[in-house]
Amino acid sequence: MDRRSFLRTSALGGTAAAASSLAAPAYAQGKRTLTMVTTWPRGLAGVWDSVERVVNNVNDITDGQLTIDAKGAGELVGALEVFDAVTAGQADMYHGADYYFVGQHPAFAYFTAVPFGMTAPEIMTWYYGGEGKDLHHELGEIFGLRSFIAGQTGAQGGGWFRSPVQSADDFKGLKFRMPGLGGQALSRLGASVQVIPGGEIYQALSTGALDATEWIGPWSDEKLGLQEVCDHYYPAGFHEPGAALSVACNLEVFNSLTPAQQRAIEVASADAHQHNYSVFIANNGPALQRLISGGAQIQEFSADIWNAFGNASMEVLNGFMDDEIFAKIHNSAQASLRESSQWLAQSDSAYSQQRNRVLSEM
């Protein structure tokens, strides 16, 4: 924790100095093109749709005055190198899942997903109706970024396995792909956790480098071909009850844009967030039925396994609470979760249960 505190203090000092020098930026005139690097291979189902939505939105909103040249993973830098590329000024912006960057700071996980955290509607409530967006900016600015959520996969599946898991002991030694703090929780159960970009998962499973994996959900997983190498699918997982994607701009680049161009990136990201959520939800149901028809075995984790997930997750989250900004973001997210979940449980959830019951009896 001392190292993170040092980095945070140093970075904040540097950010403050940079902010003062950029307080009255000389906005660039004329057309501009920004280079975006991404954590996704070009065309990867669902997540690349969000990239294209942001790119097209910015072009349309600015009438072509600001354009974005999006690069797939590996075209300019590797999938997990985009954060460093943007903070170093080698690229102007990235699109990715911020929980890939918990090595830079564990609080980035909250702007994708944390284990036993918020569902997609709860994330939206915190981000747009609460403190989430401001805290995303605060965290990003430590590293010279201006960040916005810009995609949403909804709840992600518990993963694909070659054999069913009967107890928490089955995770011991299992070579499992899971990024973020959820992966750290699985490590506490004895799993050998791998952080592998999406475009490399199929090959890793095929060669035995992985024993099991999570990716996103039925639609994206089907497109990746995971059902070809694993038979057992767990639709419900503990690690990503809702997973946001993000756009982050190099702060100096962002401050050099006109206010209208800055606003275009913010609005383009927000639109991509809600649109992407709809795309995933619309495609997951039909894809799940195709997977079942094709022979995938649908499984559920036992209550004992869920309890083990929960205990390990709380240990991971509590382990970062002596970091000031992590605690600030965690406490804000938890407060919003408590408030929104109480209402949603008594309204949306109660209604859905009764609607499904009534329709099943008709």
Q: For the chain, what are the domain ranges?
A: 2-153+242-283
Vertex 39 angle, CA 276 and 215, to 5°: 65
Q: How confident is the model at residue 29, as a pLDDT?
A: 66
| Amino acid identity, position 30 | G
Q: How confident is the model at residue 22, as a pLDDT?
A: 41
Structure-token pair, residue 360: 């099943």
Q: Name residues whose C-beta falls within 8 Å of residue 43's C-beta, 6 or more positions apart in sequence.
A: 72
- Whole-angstrom Cα distance, residue 273 to residue 46? 11
Superfamily of domain 2-153+242-283: Bacterial extracellular solute-binding protein, family 7 (3.40.190.170)
Which DSSP letter does residue 164 get?
-
Contact 7, 144 (CB under 8 A): no
pTM of the predicted protein model? 0.90
**Helices 324-344 and 132-142 meet at what angle, rounded to 10?**
160
- DSSP 3-state percent helix, strand, coil across the chain (nearest 5): 55, 15, 30
Q: Is 90 helix (H, G, I), strand (E, B) or coil?
A: coil
Give me the phi and psi of 72, to 5 degrees please.
Answer: -70, 165
Contact 230, 212 (CB under 8 A): yes
Q: How confident is the model at residue 27, as a pLDDT?
A: 59
| Amino acid identity, position 300 | E
Structure-token pair, residue 314: 């709380």
Greatest alpha-carbon span in the chain: 67
Q: How confident is the model at residue 2, as a pLDDT?
A: 40
Q: With a cut of 50, list the residues of the chain below it in pLDDT.
A: 1-24
Selection from 106, 105, 248, 245 nearest residue 182 by Cα: 106
Residue length of the chain: 362
Q: How confident is the model at residue 167, as a pLDDT?
A: 97
Q: How confident is the model at residue 25, as a pLDDT?
A: 52
Q: How confident is the model at residue 317, as a pLDDT?
A: 98
Contact 340, 122 (CB under 8 A): yes
Contact 211, 147 (CB under 8 A): no
